[in-house]
Structure 1
Amino acid sequence: MIKHLKNFFVSEINETQNTINKNIDPSIDESIFETHFNEGELVAIPPKLRSEGYYSFLSEMSLDLTYENEAKREFVANNIMVGIAASIPSAYFIMPFAASHTVIRLFSLQVLPSGCGKGVSDKQTKALFNEAIQLLGDNIKSPQSGLPLYARFFSGGLSTGEGIAYELRDGANNDDGEIQQGVEDKRLLVLEPEFFNVLVKCLGPNSILSSSIRKIFDGDSLEPMTKKDRIRCTNPDICILGQITPEELVAKLDSVSISNGFANRFPVFSGTPPIYQPIPKVTEKELIKKHAKKLNEIMFWCHESPKVLTMSDCYEKLWREKYSDLKQIGASGSIEQSLMTRVPHYATMFAMLFAALDMTTTVTANHLAASLAWIDYWHESVRYVFGTEAAAYKAEQKNLQALEVLNKIKELVALNNGQPITRTPLQQSFGKKYTSKQLSDVLKFLQELPKAPIAVTKHPHNKQLISLT
């Protein structure tokens, strides 16, 4: 029953609900369960990254860098992921996709109250990357790509779209005929610890910051329409890591930012306050050095030559199994659905990144499993921060109703020798359980699914026939 449900409906069913569903008699009014699953009694469960998400050396690195201090392990792992993604030249690591290709360009938004470990997590991660750069000595540039092994780091704050374009500007002649030096390396890692300010500035009159950030994620060129000394930035290769408190995010993320695709470019990762460490343990220099050497090994491999990734058979199998679920997260029209729209794209990018950690051009099911752990963490974080559990519960009840109606239609069509049925026997079979309007809503819902299991056709004299597709 559950497998069939997942094929058609948007749902995230926990183990308790699974147990109940398997034992529901279709003749029983499911409203009897409402006293046990009352919306007002739903408890928000803090999100947690599953162990699969700490893939490869991320596991040991994140443990060592957070041992007996107040850094958050999941944030340190996320920082390392974004740092690596920002440093891989986009043309050097691609996966074919239709007529185009996918590159690793990660955005991230870490959500945690002030003073709860975001800053410590940043410092621990910076210590790792700084040690890696220091170990390179004079070999800071890759002989193959001609670029520094690591992307530039910028933490000055995102203020305007014009400012972003100028930071990675192309060479050009200005209005006075003077040569304006361009920036060859289009990679940039932006840390925005006050992402609240970004949201405020995106709402400002005549601001192009929101559209510029959206273009950056898509890898599109920036060319702000300024009156003088117009600048242009082609092929920007930027990763953005933002930080914000949950109160600020909920208060300032407006409907426009949610609907226009700005917000869903940023996976949301929510954390809980750390265990207090009055005297944090000093991370040993040799330990950081060991991890930095591994980091350099990975980055040298990534810069060695352009690489085209391929999918293993096990990856393809798991991807086909999960794709429908990834495309249908959240109730239709909900904030949850809007914020999770780019999940399939991020699932691919995360898996590609984990392949890079293994220094392989073959993406496997293990890489995808690790990726899905981060997707689930993102999904749980959205539900936790925005309180969408109640909406998800309502959607689940609607799914269960739709499944019950669909099974009844199948039963009645079978009794009718496989021929379409009218609405009358369907309505009669449920008695007073569903009103005429409720049944109409369910039939409408079933027809609007990506793979609609039924079709309702109109015949003369307003007669409607219901058939299986």
Structure 2
Amino acid sequence: MAEVERMAAKYQPQMRNVSAFDYEALDDEVIDTPDHHRNAPKPDQACLHGLIGDVARAGSRDTEANPFAIAANFIVYMSAAIGRGAYTYIGNTRHHCRINALHVGRTGRGRKGDAASLIHRLDIALRALDEYIAPQVHSGGLSTREGLALMIHDGWSKGKNEVEPIHDKRLWVIESEFVNVLMQSKRDGNTLSSALRDCWDGVSIRPATKGQPRIWASHPHVNLSAAITGNELHAVMAARELTNGFANRFLIFWAERTRMLPFPRATPQHDVEALAQRVLEVIRFAGGDRPVERDALQITMSTDAQAMFASLYLDELNDQSSGEIVTALLERRAPVLRRLAMLFALCDLKTEVDVQHIEAALAWTRYWAESVKFIFSDGAAEAASAVTDDAARQILDFLAKDGKATRWEISKICFNGHKSKSLIDKALDELLTSSPAQIEVQTIPRPKGSPGTATKIYLLAAKCAKSAKSEHSRGLQPDFDVCEVCEVCEVSQESDSTLRTLRTLREVSNQPQTRASVDTSHTSHTSQGVSEKTIEREVL
């Protein structure tokens, strides 16, 4: 090996020695041009927590595969293998470990195929330990809703022929050419995109076929590992795929090789078998070996983890300052973080999500956010978005101080006439269209007979007036009063047909929060306060 390295160094091209830079040779126009170059996304090592990190390091130790790409594929595989036995509540919805990932990288440099190679070896070793423990694996490509349902169908009959149902609904789909899925969704009548959305939600796949047999698949547990180049993603993905909730059901990440190895080596088989044994233990712990038993293991969250998640939910998990496309692609960061944290806890053989699991999941959502910005927003667009965001914050501070202002006052007093009309309009539009809206506009008509147009007054929105001085970023305040149902008794039907429901509510005081409840919906999470009162309600 030393001889090979010596020969490689001999033939390596010599670098030109540059000791000084000739600034006088530069054109003035080049010097004045803003520099919008930026680095590719750099994920945090916190992504590689526990078993997932051990698999990633084993697969990348002697290869060119990106460890974070290996980890992402393994996350999807484990999500599929665990099945629908483990769950957590978000509001009234039960969420399982269903995670889709989309690996974006340039052809050849992305090493997208290498990132899944070790996972295939783990799958083989796992089946050698227990032939029924691993999920079904499909790598032949997806084309239609009916084809997807066929792989996990509920059975059907055609004449005298009866086809037995597939009871194990766990499915890991490997789509190395994700561009094919995007192209299929553009065909008239093709509903593959909506089927994949239903699978992420856990909704039964029911193709609306007119003929027989009618192939349905209830309780699907489909997890998709996909790969695509950045150019293909830009060229093929239609605007509707960005806004209809399809793309934001994928954890999109940019990953390419981090080094060059002329002679990469395979992970030793004994390491693969040791990792497979740990995988087997996790799957059995989570109930994946009993796929027909759904919702058998509830995953809870520690007090500290609840407080951390609540703070994140009211801040960066709902950040809307990066533009319409980026915001749409990151819309599901909060529920995906919850699913990731649940998976990290299960891989630690725990039924309670703790702070370290939230931190690992948060590292992935941040990697996701940085990747989406890198792929879909160039440096100039990011710089322009930052300028608009800063102007919006200045307007919020100005309205918080003065209460209300006209468009002229915002331009001349708030910005001293130094901001362009187009920039102020963009900032006002963002504040008006953020969710919830940060400001509102009122129109004051001119007196009867007076010439001119009506006057518009801008003021803080009623529900966010108190938030103007808070530390939360623009557009991140919740549009609800923070309260929590912390205890609910069983509902019983009395003999006199009276339905009595007792519940204890905790109201928020001005004291610092120490706990936060997460048993709420995607769009409304609550924090816990101090005082209590009991309400009794009778329904006759």
- 2:105 alignment counterpart: 112
Q: What does 1:71-220 align with in structure 2 at a 5 Å threshold? A: 71-90=65-84, 92-116=85-109, 117-136=111-130, 140=131, 148-174=132-158, 176-220=159-203
Amino acid at match of 1:105: R
Contact (CA 8 Å) 1:95, 1:310: kept in 2 or not? yes
d(CA) in 2 for partners of 1:404, 1:245: 39
Name the residue aligned to 1:67: 61
Do the aligned partners of residues 266 and 446 (structure 1) sit closer, same or farther apart at CA in structure 2, a change above 3 Å counting?
closer
The residue aligned with 1:258 is 242
CA, structure 1 residues 187+441, in 2 after alignment: closer, same or farther (shift >3 Å)?
Answer: closer
Deviation at 1:112, TM superposition (A): 2.1
Q: Corresponding residue for 1:349?
A: 339
Aligned with 1:231 (options 212, 215, 226) = 215
Task: Please list the CA deviations of residues 74-119 of structure 1 after superposition, one character each: whole Å capped at 9, or x if unmatched.
Answer: 11111211111001121x1111121222111111111122333222
On the 8 A contact 2:51/2:348 being kept in 1, the answer is no
One-letter identity of the residue aligned with 1:180: V
1:366 matched to 2:356: yes
CA drift of 1:209 comes to 1.5
SS at match of 2:350: coil
Contact in 1 for aligned 2:142/2:181 (Cα 8 Å): yes
C-alpha contact 1:112 1:118 (8 A) present in aligned 2: yes
- CA contact 2:126–2:134 (8 Å) conserved in 1: no
Q: Across the two proteins, how many residue pairs are aligned to each other?
A: 416
User: Which one is further off, 275-284 or 106-115?
Assistant: 275-284
Q: Any conservation in 2 of the 1:49–1:373 contact (CA below 8 Å)? A: yes
Q: 1:227-252, CA deviations, whole angstroms, 9 ceiling, x for partnerless residues?
A: 23221111111111111122222211
**Shift of residue 466, structure 1, vs aligned partner:** 4.9
The whole-number CA distance in structure 2 between the counterparts of 1:434 and 1:118 is: 46
Q: Distance in 1 between matches of 2:184 and 2:318?
A: 31
Cα-Cα RMSD: 2.6
The alignment-based identity, stated in percent, is 26
Q: Give the superposition deviation at 1:52.
A: 0.5
CA distance in 2, matches of 1:361, 1:135: 24
2:366 maps to 376
Identify, as 1 or 2, the structure richer in helix. Answer: 1
2:299 to 282, 292, 309: 309
TM-score (norm 1): 0.81
Which residue is 2:3 aligned to? none
Secondary structure, in 3 states, of the residue corresponding to 1:243? strand
- What code does the residue aligned with 1:101 have? R
Of 242, 267, 272, which aligns to 2:251?
267
CA contact (8 A) 1:72 1:121 kept: yes
SS at match of 1:45: coil
Cα distance in 2, alignment partners of residues 423 and 256 from structure 1: 34
Q: Could you say if the C-alpha distance between residues 274 and 293 of structure 1 is closer, same or farther in structure 2, counting changes exceeding 3 Å? A: same
Secondary structure, aligned partner of 1:101 = strand
Comparing 376-385 with 444-453, which one deviates more in the overlay? 444-453
Q: Which residue of 2 aligns with 1:285?
A: 269
Give the match's secondary structure for 1:396.
helix
SS in structure 2 at match of 1:189: strand
Cα deviations across residues 19-69 of structure 1 (Å, max 9, x unaligned)? xxxxxxxxxxxxxxxx99999521132112210000112222211221121
1:196–1:244 contact (8 Å) kept in structure 2: yes
Distance 1:459 1:88, change over 3 A: same
Name the structure where strand makes up a greater proportion of residues.
2
1:26 paired residue number: none
Secondary structure of 2:387's partner?
helix
Letter of the 2:187 partner, please give it. Answer: G
Please state how far the C-alpha of 1:200 moved relative to its aligned partner: 1.6
Identify which range, 314-323 or 459-468, moves more after superposition.
459-468
Instruction: Tell me how far apart the structure 1 counterparts of residues 133 and 57 of structure 2 sit (CA, whole Å).
Output: 25
Kindly provide the amino acid, as one letter, of the partner of residue 103 in structure 2: Q
Inter-CA distance 377–426: structure 2 relative to 1 (3 Å threshold): closer
Moved more, 196-205 or 149-158: 196-205
Unaligned runs of 5+ in 2: 1-28, 447-453, 466-540
Does the 8 Å CA contact 2:230/2:375 hold for their aligned counterparts?
yes
- Please give the alpha-carbon distance, in whole angstroms, between the structure 2 residues aligned to 1:457 and 1:287: 67
> How far 1:387 sits from its partner (Å)?
3.4
State the alpha-carbon separation in 2 of the partners of residues 273 and 201 from structure 1: 30
Q: CA deviation at 1:445?
A: 3.8
Instruction: Give the Cα separation in 2 of the matches to 1:352 and 1:152.
Output: 22
Shift of the 339–448 alpha-carbon distance from structure 1 to 2, 3 Å rule, reads closer
Residue equivalent to 1:327 = 318
Distance apart, 1:465 and its partner CA? 4.9
Q: 1:433 aligns with which of 409, 418, 422?
A: 418
| Counterpart AA for 1:186 | K
User: Does the aligned pair in 2 maintain the 1:412–1:426 contact within 8 Å?
Assistant: no
Q: What amino acid sits opposite 2:66 in the alignment?
A: K
What is the TM-score normalised by the length of structure 2? 0.71
When residues 295 and 436 of structure 1 are mapped into structure 2, their CA distance, relative to the original with a 3 A threshold, is: closer
